[in-house]
Amino acid sequence: MKILLTGVTGYIAQRLLPVLLEQGHEVVACVRDKHRFNSVYETSRLQIIEVDFLKEETLQHIPKDIDAAYYLIHSMSTQAADFAEMEKICATNFKVGLEKTAVKQVIYLSGIVNDTGLSKHLSSRKNVEDVLGEGSFALTTLRAGIIVGSGSASFEIIRDLVEKLPIMITPKWLKTKCQPIGIRNVVEFLCGVLGRSDTYNQSYDIGGTEILTYKEMLLRFAKIRGLKRSIFIVPVMTPRLSSYWLYFVTSTSYVLAKNLVNSMKVEVICTPNNLAERLGIQLLDYDTSIKLAFDKIEQNQVLSSWKDAQTSDLFKNSLTHYLDVPVNGCFKDVRVRQAEDPALALQRIWSIGGKTGWYYGRFLWQIRGIMDQMVGGVGMRRGRKSDSEIFAGDALDFWRVLIANKQERRLLLYAEMKLPGEAWLEFRMDDQDVLTQTATFRPLGLFGRIYWYSVLPFHGFIFRGMIDNIVRPAKPIVRKSSI
């Protein structure tokens, strides 16, 4: 089948894409910016097209001969004031664009909407379903609650809370019940309903085998990790305080934290159905989903992370807009060193950030991250998806990867921290194995210039220490001989 896949840079679609290709389908992947998508799949059955469903003029790029489509576009973490209106526009344009094709089925992943009092996020999900349901194609809707898997927002937030806080004073929404589902099961459902006429114009709630409160989920997670944790629920935490609590403790943005808190007050429990049985899907329990997630993390095989889709409000333009580092009107810090072991130096560059750190002044980098978080920035909490691999579009602490080309031996980062200007950090190694490390800052007004000169004394030893540690040779292994 020829399948249109939307939301390709998002968490779910990145898990679904390789499975569809393995099943022999031809996939047309929609991205707003090709520079945000790094294709590691060497196959003629994958076509990348640029489509922004907020811009009707880009719909012409959609092929007319597609057989099915997945609608996996979500906007809950957007900085926009009204994400519900944005989602409605996207869904309407998608519907109009698809009606001009030969598509027979659209598969939509939504949220469970069985509670009488829905949050703004869940109401928006339902409205999108209503819009898509008006299309001339058959709609199959899968409704999921908490999705558990390596790199998922739910998993990473729970992990942050459990691993960072031995004692938690929590809001009352931790008593809310939900029915979590493993990412493996979600992908199985998404693939299972493809092309099945008995699922056309039907909606199904999908969940795991257990109904748990959020408190039970945290404590079960702690038990699996061998951690002793105590949780005390207090009734005095307002939604705003709860949002700030999530924001400062976990890797989420404040906007996403606020929407999550509103959704977590709503029970997301499945209406029973026999879809799993019909598709031959063995549902996973919560503990198994957690263990499978850590298996992927320990093997460094996390395919996708919600953090890569989480950006600041800086990227109003395509990433292409930031690829050419400006020269005029900028401050620069340029360091040049000869790499005695270029392969090792390149490995260190490709491993920078996250758990590895920035090779010098770790405490100062952490302080800078906390300062950024205090003013509403992303901070240093996002880390990186893989310890050794990095691709264009990836989140890297409070940077965004613009270029990661090992053949050209070049890594270019753009700052997503809160700044009175714009900042780039580049590592480039030439044919003579000379490494050039360049920090570029384009100030915005007088305050931008004041900022640069105020941090200039720190740049002297931070940037010098960073490049020195990148190019330094490996320490020799000293073996003690016994007589």
What structural domains and CATH numbers belong to the chain?
Answer: 2-307 (3.40.50.720), 322-471 (3.30.530.20)
pLDDT of residue 80: 47
Give me the pLDDT at residue 304, please.
Answer: 47
Annotate the chain with three-state secondary structure: CEEEECCCCCHHHHHHHHHHHHCCCEEEEEECCHHHCCCCCCCCCEEEEECCCCCHHHHHHCCCCCCEEEECCCCCCCCCCCHHHHHHHHHHHHHHHHCCCCCCEEEEEEECCCCCCCCHHHHHHHHHHHHHHCCCCEEEEEEECCEECCCCHHHHHHHHHHHHCCEEEECHHHHCEECCEEHHHHHHHHHHCCCCHHHCCEEEEECCCCCEEHHHHHHHHHHHCCCCCEEEECCCCCHHHHHHHHHHHCCCCHHHHHHHHHHHCCCECCCCCCHHHHHCCCCCCHHHHHHHHHHHHHCCCCCCCHHHHCCCCCCCCCHHHHCCCCCCCCEEEEEEEECCCHHHHHHHHHCCECCCECCCCHHHHHHHHHHHHHCCCCCCCCCCCCCCCCCCCCEECCEEEEEEECCCCEEEEEECCCCCEEEEEEEEECCCCEEEEEEEEEECHHHHHHHHHHHHHHHHHHHHHHHHHHHCCCCCCCCCCCC
pLDDT of res. 237: 66
Residues 275-304: pLDDT tens digits? 999 999 999 999 998 888 877 665 544 444
pLDDT of residue 300: 44
Query: What does the pLDDT read at residue 267?
Result: 83
pTM listed for this prediction = 0.70
pLDDT value, residue 481:
47
**Mind listing the pLDDT tens digit for each residue in 408-434?**
999 999 998 888 888 999 999 999 999
Positions of the chain with pLDDT under 70: 35-40, 42, 75-83, 115-121, 151, 237-263, 296-321, 476-483
Q: Looking at residue 303, what is its pLDDT? A: 46
